[in-house]
Amino acid sequence: MRRTEIERLLPAVYQRAAGGGPLAALLDVMEGMHEPVERRLAAVEDLVAPYRAPDAFLPYLLSWLAMDHLGRSLPPGRRRDLAARAGELARARGTAAGLCALLGTVTGVGGFAVDEPADRPFHIVVRVPEAARDQLPLIRMAVALEKPAAVTVDIA
């Protein structure tokens, strides 16, 4: 808030005396104290924008999006991708396509497939692309956390 804006909030008698002296100095100090807060408020949307939020804020942002259980072990870039796709992933949660999209997001590798064998109800087989084989612990954790509770799984 600029000094002139602060002055307009004062009673008329103080507005007339604001031209110099201690009141003018106080108004200058008040303007200086408002400036950092106003700068931060002007950029508040950066806190909730996945690709502009500070790294330290990403875990909190993921908790808002109910994705913190997956984002803890991810590097910042993939955390940002997870936060950016959270709505889409939530809509597809519990489906084969949703699981493939989630695995592609957390690993950074596409090409996952989920098969549902006809002879084994409530069982899925997750097919992992060769490029993601080095991330099997992350894949197992993500599948265990995101598959429906009554479903058994093989990761191939």
In this predicted model, what pLDDT tens digit does every residue of 99-117 receive, in sequence order?
999 999 999 999 999 999 9
Q: Is the pLDDT assigned to residue 43 strictly greater than 80? A: no
Query: 134 pLDDT band (50/70/90 cuts)?
Result: very high
Q: Is the pLDDT assigned to residue 36 strictly greater than 90? A: no
* H or E stretch at 113: strand 113-115
**The pLDDT of residue 41:** 83
Q: Are 111 and 131 in contact (CB under 8 A)?
A: yes
What is the share, in percent, of the chain residues with pLDDT greater than 90?
Answer: 62
Q: Are 112 and 128 in contact (CB under 8 A)?
A: yes
Q: Measured at the alpha carbon of residue 131, what is the angle toward residues 126 and 72, in degrees to the nearest 5?
A: 70
pLDDT tens string 57-70 = 999 999 999 999 99
Q: Are 112 and 132 in contact (CB under 8 A)?
A: yes
C-alpha–C-alpha distance, residues 78 and 101, integer Å: 13
pTM for the predicted model, two decimal places: 0.74
